[in-house]
Structure 1
């Protein structure tokens, strides 16, 4: 089973991108997720890459902006590629399948 649920804040404004001659849409973004280190209670952040497709991408781009808090559920997707120096690199991202706005209604206008 491949399920992910995370809560975080957007690190930048979202940008809706198209493919297939404008017939499909997607957006890629990063969520900052606070993590507390138990030793000294110092907060650190994890930065998780997310991709959303089609109607979900359009909705997210319409209502969210940098700093918005959101809950995302989805699945992990990993891939590899060869960089310009010939090194094999790996990438992991969350493919968003559902979401909840966590900011209050006054902030989402």
Structure 2
């Protein structure tokens, strides 16, 4: 049986997506996503813990991220966890773990131009975008 590599996150963008357009014509977007955990310590004090996730979106999803996503927006991300290595400027091997998005759903109401959501605004239907598989990713 093959393994399963699936990640589901719901959180808020920590910054606007940074989008690059590669020579091949492909687009790639990188952004951070914050998820929060809450627990009580021994004294009963409620503690909040924020986990930061590096998100990478390719091609059509990168274009969606560039056009619609802004710092503070709440989104649902579904994808795969990947760890890659690279050489830093001091020629040291570094590792980064990221989520490669297959699907992004924008949650909540439609934000204002400044990224804030109106208090009086009715929520709109969530809009989902999916990454189409590459030809070499098809199972047949």
Task: Pick the TM interval, shorter chain.
Answer: 0.7 to 0.9
> Shift of residue 108 of structure 1?
6.4
Pairing partner for 1:64 from 69, 80, 86: 69
Could you tell me how far apart the structure 2 residues matched to 1:89 and 1:15 are?
21
Output one character per residue of 1:44-82: Cα deviation in whole Å (capped at 9) or x when no partner: 211100000001110121111110000000000001234
State the alpha-carbon separation in 1 of the partners of residues 73 and 64 from structure 2.
14
Structure 1: tracts of 5 or more residues without a match: none
Q: What do you get for the CA RMSD once the two structures are aligned?
A: 1.7
Cα distance in 2 for partners of 1:37, 1:84 equals 40
**Larger RCO: 1 or 2 (CA < 8 Å, sep 6+):** 1
Match of 1:4 among 2, 7, 11: 7
Between structure 1 and structure 2, the one with the greater Rg is 2
Which one of 95, 99, 105 corresponds to residue 94 of structure 1? 99
Q: Deviations over 1:3-51 (max 9, x none)?
A: 0000111111123210025x11011000011111332321121110000
Select 1:48's aligned residue among 53, 61, 64.
53
Alignment-derived partner of residue 18 in structure 1:
21
Does the 8 Å CA contact 1:30/1:47 hold for their aligned counterparts?
A: yes
In 1: Cα distance, 2:16 partner to 2:92 partner: 31
State the number of aligned residues: 107
Whose strand proportion is higher, 1 or 2? 1
1:104 aligns with 2:109: yes
Q: What is the TM-score when the length of structure 1 is the normalising length? A: 0.87
Runs of 4+ in 1 over 6 A off after TM superposition: none
Q: Which residue of 2 aligns with 1:33?
A: 35
